[in-house]
Amino acid sequence: MKTKLFLAGLLLLLAVAGALWYPGESVKLTDKDTLLIGDFANSTGEAAFDGALREALSISLAQSPLLNLISAEKIAETLRSQSVEASTPITRDLAPRLCAHLDASAFLTGTIAKDGQTYVLRLSTFQCTPSKEMATVKTAAKGKQEVVHALGEAAAELRGELGENADSLKRFNLPLERAASSSLEAIQFFAAGRRISREQGALLAVPAFKKAIELDPRFALARSQLAVSYYNLNQNALAADSIRQAFELADRQTVRDRLHITTLYYDLGTGDVQKAIQGYKQWVQLYPRDDIAKGNLASEYFLLGDYEQAASYARQALLLDPSSVAWYENVATADIALLHLEEARYIINLGFSRKLDDPAMHTSLYALAFLRGDSNAMRQEVEWSVGKAGAEDAMLALQADTEAYAGHLQKARELSRHAVQAAQAANLAEPAAIWQGISAFREAIYGKIEEARAEADKVLDIAPNSRDAQTLASLVFARTGDLRRAQSLVDDLAAAHVSNTLVQSAWLPTIRAQASLLNQKPAQAVDLLEAARPYERGQLIGNLSSSCMVPVYLRGEAYLTMKRGELALAEFHKLADNRGVVGNCWSGALAWLGQARAQAIAGSANAARNSYQRFFDLWKTADPDLPILKLARAEFAKLKAVTQPIGSQALETCFRLPQEGQSARIKRRPCSRGCGPPGRNHSLPMTHRGAPPAKRISPSPKCSSESVSRFALAGGAPERKTARSEADAARGLCRNEPQPSIPVLDPCEAPLQGRVEHGHRQIRLIRRLNTLTVRPKVVAAGIRCEEFAKLAGLAL
């Protein structure tokens, strides 16, 4: 479920707004017409031209704002669908047969021959149907070192023959030796890197890109593609260095490539999320049919935790290029975060049906299996990853998270160690440091202080210059009391990443808040964490798709320390409400413990007991020596008798009940706690068990004039399981109506249905009591919102 960025410039799908010319008549193309670029027939006997000329020609033609080029990914997918090897050359004979499958309007092929020391090049464009020649350009190069320049000149001439005007040619025509490289060998390795990345993944493509840069250090496109590959491998420090170097080569970039590299510079280099989003949106506006801009924009919204926007842009990118595996991964990641699990599964299977595969697709399948509780499917994905460099380490890390989620910290520690080793064996230092750092922070959260500190030291040994490694180590030191080392790392991060949005606005406030909590300054921690609020659902470490929502967890802890139970409960509910975002993170499991503690502070002893029990059920096989588990058990043992009963128990405490079968309006008798502010009397219509089905209940006089028709919510104990949709409806009602009463029907053992009519909004609630472990004797009507919140253990 890893987010991906792909290099632009070579794979662009742009609007076609020109005319193709061939002798005799002019053919106009619509903005949906596309051009297939084929291979060169090489009769020179020199292998250096194989692959390189087609790549170079694509780079040159991609400068045009008019031509719509079919991506190499889409061509490869089409070949596979026809049971043809993806590396098969696109010849003059094969191209017409592919046109129909690619929805191409025209295709282009070339030839290169040698006459003494002169190389003769020919570019020919044909209509797909009929296969009729449209335009041809010939040129010659005096020596091998002049071939790239000659090819660029021929490409520019062909653009004119195909209808592009002179002004456009003048503006968008950087010499090919500057747009790419004057070295055929460098272009050949660049082409190989793109092919390997497409077919085998980023890890195996890195050496080819590095070789291209070695042959031509000023090859800007090779550096930007290397940056993207590093990013996709979680090698974020290396990605930042590579994109900075590409950014500095401004004179070696076409107009379009300059736009892309600049945006990537803000994205991967400085980490300025808002500038990156602004750049991608400008790109989308200029080139609305470019899948790269939209797909990369989705990745930015992952960082912000805006999964709705991410899903929208990822789907648009996928529609533009269904052959890019990255867009399937991005759509699936967004769907999982939004708990659209069936949609996520469908999109992954769709990718597989197109013969696309990538480690990130399998980590997404693992995440889906976890959320569904399918241990067999999880095991299958782990088995798939064994021995696969760049995949095994990530899957082992996921497996470690799952064990820790169940309280199996010893198993998690061992799996994390294997993940670190697998990453190091693949020369992936930064992912190794991230897996080590995540393990160290888990140890700290679970109370294993010495182990956490020891593992944090290893993080910095593995990747001392990694931003993410420093972030995780600093967080661990702040959690375990080594504030001097934590502050030293914070100072380094603040100075080295001045423009990085996530560092400055999310991680530094979070680390400082953790230090404040350790110093018993919870109010200060809450203030510090306010800056992180816009990013708390985001992917804050590298480009990992899971988010533990650390700022939310720490804010909940701060409110617990301040004895603000209702506010703490709201934070821990966020973790439960964002299961697709949190996934198998430790914070998802500890959310139940946090809720229990918050409910106990708020005086909801019965609700607290239920939450404690949920936590203990989840950790029923947990390591018995975990400090956090020991503390939870001690808290549970000290929990007093229910002081605030739910449902019928609360009503029996606070109201004189009518007789069986009666319906009456009664007065509240004084009670010490649990049913509202002492000293107030509420006139409440009530239906007791055995009474005829309740008719429409009029709102209490305390309500506003807007109607509150029927809002049904059952109460009772033990182990109350309140549907979140009903809780949300209650909270929404109370926010919009200052003093409403909530009429409640008595369903007894029957299905329960109700509707809230609030203004023009209707919320339909349907529940069956057999889905709840409640047996209410009586359900009251007219409970005020504040009282309802206390009874239900909710924070409004």
pLDDT digits (tens, 9 = 90+) for 191-227: 999 999 988 889 999 999 999 999 999 999 999 999 9
pLDDT digits (tens, 9 = 90+) for 722-769: 444 444 444 444 444 333 333 333 333 333 333 333 333 333 332 332
- SS3 assignment for 569-581: HHHHHHHHHCHHH
Question: Does the pLDDT of residue 248 top 90, yes or no?
Answer: yes
At 31 the pLDDT is 57
At 694 the pLDDT is 39
pLDDT digits (tens, 9 = 90+) for 119-159: 999 999 998 987 788 899 999 999 999 999 999 999 999 99
Token pair 């609305």 is found at 288
At 32 the pLDDT is 63
Distance CA 68, CA 105 (A): 10
Question: Does the pLDDT of residue 522 top 60, yes or no?
Answer: yes
At 280 the pLDDT is 93
Question: Does the pLDDT of residue 503 top 80, yes or no?
Answer: yes
In this prediction, residue 252 has a pLDDT band, given cuts at 50, 70 and 90, of very high
Domain edges within the chain = 19-180, 187-361, 524-641, 648-792
* Mean pLDDT, rounded, for 73-100: 88
648: left (phi over 0), alpha (psi -120 to 50) or beta: alpha
Question: Does the pLDDT of residue 94 top 50, yes or no?
Answer: yes
In this prediction, residue 290 has a pLDDT band, given cuts at 50, 70 and 90, of confident
- Please, which residues bridge with residue 784 across strands? 741
DSSP 712-754: ------SS----HHHHHHHHHHHHHSSS-EE-----TTS-EEE
Question: Does the pLDDT of residue 319 top 90, yes or no?
Answer: yes
At 26 the pLDDT is 52
Is the fold of 19-180 the same as that of 187-361? no
Distance CA 289, CA 687 (A): 62
Fold of 524-641: 1.25.40
Q: Judge contact between 309 and 538, C-beta under 8 A.
A: no
At 323 the pLDDT is 86
Q: Identify the three-state secondary structure at position 135.
A: strand
* Mean pLDDT, rounded, for 674-698: 36
pLDDT mean across residues, the chain:
80
Question: Does the pLDDT of residue 585 top 90, yes or no?
Answer: yes
109 Cβ neighbours under 8 A, 6+ residues apart: 38, 39, 40, 41, 90, 91, 92, 95, 123, 124, 126
In this prediction, residue 289 has a pLDDT band, given cuts at 50, 70 and 90, of confident
Q: Which long-range contacts (CB under 8 A, 24 or more apart) does 653-659 make?
A: 655/684, 655/686, 655/780, 657/686, 657/688, 657/778, 658/686, 658/688, 659/688
In this prediction, residue 163 has a pLDDT band, given cuts at 50, 70 and 90, of confident
At 1 the pLDDT is 44
Distance CA 745, CA 730 (A): 15
Backbone angles phi, psi at 246, to 5 degrees: -65, -40
Distance CA 416, CA 434 (A): 10
Residue type, 83: S
Q: Specify the higher pLDDT residue, 20 or 327.
A: 327
Q: Judge contact between 338 and 330, C-beta under 8 A.
A: no
Nearest to 508 by CA among 545, 547, 478: 478
Percent of the chain with pLDDT over 70: 76
pLDDT digits (tens, 9 = 90+) for 410-449: 999 999 999 999 999 999 999 999 999 999 999 999 999 9
In this prediction, residue 690 has a pLDDT band, given cuts at 50, 70 and 90, of very low
Residue type, 642: V
Mean pLDDT check: name the lowest of 210-214, 486-490, 551-555, 693-697.
693-697
CATH number of 187-361: 1.25.40.10
Question: Does the pLDDT of residue 704 top 70, yes or no?
Answer: no
User: What does each C-alpha distance from 29 to 63, 132, 162, 212, 544 come to in angstroms?
Assistant: 18, 15, 10, 36, 42
Backbone angles phi, psi at 202, to 5 degrees: -65, -35
Most confidently modeled range among 58-67, 616-625, 751-760, 779-788: 616-625
Distance CA 578, CA 574 (A): 6
Mean pLDDT check: name the lowest of 84-88, 216-220, 565-569, 642-646.
642-646
- Say whether domain 19-180 belongs to CATH 3.20.20.10: no
Nearest to 662 by CA among 690, 642, 628: 690
- Please, which residues bridge with residue 434 across strands? none
Residue type, 216: D
Question: Does the pLDDT of residue 335 top 70, yes or no?
Answer: yes
Q: Tell me the two tokens of residue 123.
A: 């570019």
At 755 the pLDDT is 31
